[in-house]
Structure 1
Amino acid sequence: MMRVSTLALVVLTIFVLARGSEIRYDGYKVVRVVPQKYEHLLALKALQGQTGHDKVDFWLAPRQVGVPVDMSMSPEVFQRLYASFNLWGIFPTVIIDDVQKLIDAQKYVTYDVEADFDYSQYHTLSEIEAWMKNITDTYSDKASLFEITKSYEARTINGIKISTSTSPDPRPAFWMEGGIHSREWISPATVIYMTGQMLDNYEALKDFVDSYDWYILPVFNVDGYERTWNGDRMWRKTMSVHGICTGVDPNRNWDFHWNENGASSDPCSDTYAGPSAFSEIEVKEVANKIASIANLKGFIDFHSFYQYWMSPWGYTTELPKDFKDMDEGGKAACDALEAVHGTKFEHGSIANIIYVASGSSADWTYGKQDIKYSYGVELRDRGEYGFLLPADQIIPSGEETLQAVIALAKFITNNP
């Protein structure tokens, strides 16, 4: 019995140290391959099931023949796989030569907490929380903080409500959220920039801001986001514990076609759907908050990357009855976005444009809450930097995405 207890203690100690230690990606490469036939897809999908030292982190998952697949891997795994890729006839191209160099360039920027909030930089969770309090205090006539819940690790999840209505009757409402996948830093940064513009430049954006009550959640997955700043920059999931593995994919945990195609039952997988639908306190309570809002007309869950503006369904390639209107709304958003900096987005249904993914936020808001205009949006870029988009792209991303949301809001008003 003593041996078993000692072994259990050793395993637990290793697990705790792993959760708290900093993981580095020195020499890790991001490699792009383009499968040329179905057998290539099968070989690539087989790599998705590997864990431990042989794990390949898919930044763009295998989807279909002729569509790029991006993978991050250690130098050792790269050496082993490079020859295999060539033998398969899917010749690899190195997109990023050293992942850690890009991580260092993103994170280690000196930030003066006494200065005005710098929208052109990525920020820690504590800096974002301070900004949320400051901006809602500054514009208390238009904005207020609302608390959703405490996370698994007991962090407060706060959102911002922007409402300029003085009428007792609620306006139509619109929900925007960022950071459901914690490593996708451009998502919270873009949402934060747009929120700042809506308040700092209210007079210029008055018609847009006044048209809805806005509910904005800058950082959904607060525990995961904290982990990306203090431990593992490439962390994606929540931080709940499941055996020897940590985390659930919060965009596979919603109670609509939960844990079907495009989700995993393996707790060590990056697409682990969780032990049950809404097992994650963060997902369950965000859903409860959304369900409590009357007259909610629009929903956007911002992700990165690959420049897609997507509507349901995610769980199936079949199209919902409202797809024509939903996709026309997406097209209006993409056209307005492109007009700012020339950035081209594609629009379509989630399952058809990217991959099948069940238990997602947009499917739930549309399928369970009847929010007709529900979207999942993949922001910049097309893979040159992927999840490690340089900070100098934050403002351009915010500028173009804001114009997309303005166009979409107008489209929804005109096409209820």
Structure 2
Amino acid sequence: MEDSRSQLVAVDRRSINLLFDDECFEDDDPDKTDNGTQTKRISRQKGKAEVIPSLMFQRSLKQMTLSEKPAKRRVKFMNWTKFHKLNVIYSFMDDLEKDFPAICTVSVIGKSVEGRDIKMLKISNSDASNPAIWLDAAIHSREWITTAVVTYLADFIVRNFHKLSKSITDKDWFIVPVLNPDGYVYTHTKDRMWRKNRAKQDGERVGVDLNRNFSYGWGNNGDEGSSDLPNHVFYKGPAPFSEPESCAVRDTILSSQTMFKVYLSFHSYYELILFPWGHKAEPCPDYLRLLEGGTVMARAIYDNSGMIYKVGCTKDLTYFACGTSSDWSYGIAKIPYSYMIELRSKKHRFKVPNDQILETCHEIWHAVESLMEFVDKPQTKF
């Protein structure tokens, strides 16, 4: 009797293995997960002989606790054919670190107002003489295309690292795909058009425009460059660097042992390449050099996709913008090539169609690659 029971248990164990084997089909519903990442659900391959579990096994399976059930294999999924939620972005970053530990490091550079991690990926060949490059996205949470582009750039650089030119690999890349994580989550769950962070004012979550919260030129030009009103879309906050998200940028850059050479903050949707100043009308000291670098990027974009990105200082091409990260990075952090790149799409505004994500990623990769070659060349004194 004992031998028969042992044989029956052995058959049922084989049943478990077949029921939960590694042959999969894709499930496109990202909400059917416990870890927030895209998954693939388990299915048996066609053509295999079926094993029908015994009655004893079926009863036993019902009695198993959750901890005893065989875990389904979960496959994390990241691509650039659609926009992804924060936990997928963060899992993608962690996976790059796991898969490429020699060049990738993920760190938390701060916490958001609501306590979420602000994650940064550093890509480096560990050469102490490298200059640093800063890339950030989603400082304005509704600008989803920025996060898609920055994650694409990270993925492309990492996976092609040993094939790329020294203008890319002889630099330390500091990459923050979601600078405003609270707002980014809010745009996926409550309000697609939310721009600011989720700071409270008088008990109400009105938010602060993080790109008006940096100290350089903060509050200049009255209501024309930012706003004192908490409910205004350009609300600058109660003080410079009042918000933990902007402080995370400041503290990371100023405490770095590596000198930054390029600062690129991605926005949408005006299709522009902007440089300082935004808080005043006068040209910045390196106007011609920044104009030339911007033109190099615009030409690379046009050669790749035919898209026309205008180049100029923030005030000339848009409006007064006071307390911006690019004015601060140029004026205080002394990063010589500081740009704010407004991505697509003037036609679709913040809701870039999925079929334009990769096109945008490709054109911006060519722009960034061309800029890196430009900044490495000996520069003419203007």
Q: Pick the TM interval, shorter chain.
A: 0.7 to 0.9
What do the CA deviations read for 1:288-336 (whole angstroms, capped 9, x no partner)? Answer: 1011222110000000011100100010121011110011000001101
What do the CA deviations read for 1:249-275 (whole angstroms, capped 9, x no partner)? Answer: 000000111112310000000100000
Residue 116 to residue 205, structure 1, CA distance change in 2 (3 Å): farther
**1:157: which partner in 2?**
118
Displacement of 1:245 after TM fit? 5.0
2:108 alignment partner, one of 136, 141, 147: 147
**2:365: which partner in 1?**
402
**2:273: which partner in 1?**
309
**1:127: which partner in 2?**
88
- The answer to whether residue 156 in structure 2 is matched with residue 212 in structure 1 is no
* Structure 1: gaps spanning 5 or more residues: 1-108
- Contact 2:167/2:376 (8 A) holds in 1: no
- The answer to whether residue 296 in structure 2 is matched with residue 318 in structure 1 is no
Displacement of 1:199 after TM fit? 1.1
1:390 alignment partner, one of 353, 359, 363: 353
What do the CA deviations read for 1:199-246 (whole angstroms, capped 9, x no partner)? Answer: 122233243431311100000000000000111110000001012451
What CA distance in whole angstroms lies between the structure 1 residues aligned with 2:88 and 2:132? 27
**2:29: which partner in 1?**
110
Residue 230 to residue 327, structure 1, CA distance change in 2 (3 Å): same
- Contact 1:245/1:268 (8 A) holds in 2: no
- Contact 2:149/2:360 (8 A) holds in 1: yes
1:330 alignment partner, one of 267, 271, 294: 294
- Contact 2:161/2:169 (8 A) holds in 1: no
Residue 414 to residue 264, structure 1, CA distance change in 2 (3 Å): same
What CA distance in whole angstroms lies between the structure 2 residues aligned with 1:299 and 1:313? 14
**2:213: which partner in 1?**
253
Aligned residue type for 2:180: N
Aligned residue type for 1:397: T
- The answer to whether residue 152 in structure 2 is matched with residue 189 in structure 1 is no
Displacement of 1:170 after TM fit? 3.3
- Contact 1:182/1:235 (8 A) holds in 2: yes
What CA distance in whole angstroms lies between the structure 1 residues aligned with 2:245 and 2:130? 26
What CA distance in whole angstroms lies between the structure 2 residues aligned with 1:285 and 1:399? 29
Aligned residue type for 2:246: V
Aligned residue type for 2:80: Y
- The answer to whether residue 300 in structure 2 is matched with residue 300 in structure 1 is no
Name the stretch that deviates more: 282-291 or 362-371: 282-291
Larger Rg: 2
**2:180: which partner in 1?**
221
Displacement of 1:373 after TM fit? 0.4
Name the stretch that deviates more: 248-257 or 289-298: 289-298
Displacement of 1:279 after TM fit? 0.4
Secondary structure in 2 matching 1:395: helix
What CA distance in whole angstroms lies between the structure 1 residues aligned with 2:308 and 2:369? 17
1:267 alignment partner, one of 221, 224, 230: 230
Displacement of 1:146 after TM fit? 1.6
What CA distance in whole angstroms lies between the structure 2 residues aligned with 1:260 and 1:155? 31
Identity in percent? 35
Secondary structure in 2 matching 1:251: helix
What CA distance in whole angstroms lies between the structure 1 residues aligned with 2:86 and 2:129? 31
- Contact 1:258/1:359 (8 A) holds in 2: yes
**1:106: which partner in 2?**
none
What CA distance in whole angstroms lies between the structure 2 residues aligned with 1:330 and 1:302? 14
What CA distance in whole angstroms lies between the structure 2 residues aligned with 1:118 and 1:378? 22
Secondary structure in 2 matching 1:171: coil
- Contact 1:173/1:297 (8 A) holds in 2: yes
**1:370: which partner in 2?**
334
Question: TM-score under structure 2 normalisation?
Answer: 0.78
What CA distance in whole angstroms lies between the structure 1 residues aligned with 2:329 and 2:297? 19
Secondary structure in 2 matching 1:214: strand
**1:235: which partner in 2?**
194
Runs of 4+ in 1 over 6 A off after TM superposition: none
1:180 alignment partner, one of 139, 161, 185: 139
Displacement of 1:337 after TM fit? 1.2
- The answer to whether residue 201 in structure 2 is matched with residue 282 in structure 1 is no
1:412 alignment partner, one of 371, 375, 379: 375
What CA distance in whole angstroms lies between the structure 2 residues aligned with 1:202 and 1:188? 21
What CA distance in whole angstroms lies between the structure 1 residues aligned with 2:176 and 2:139? 10
Residue 301 to residue 415, structure 1, CA distance change in 2 (3 Å): farther
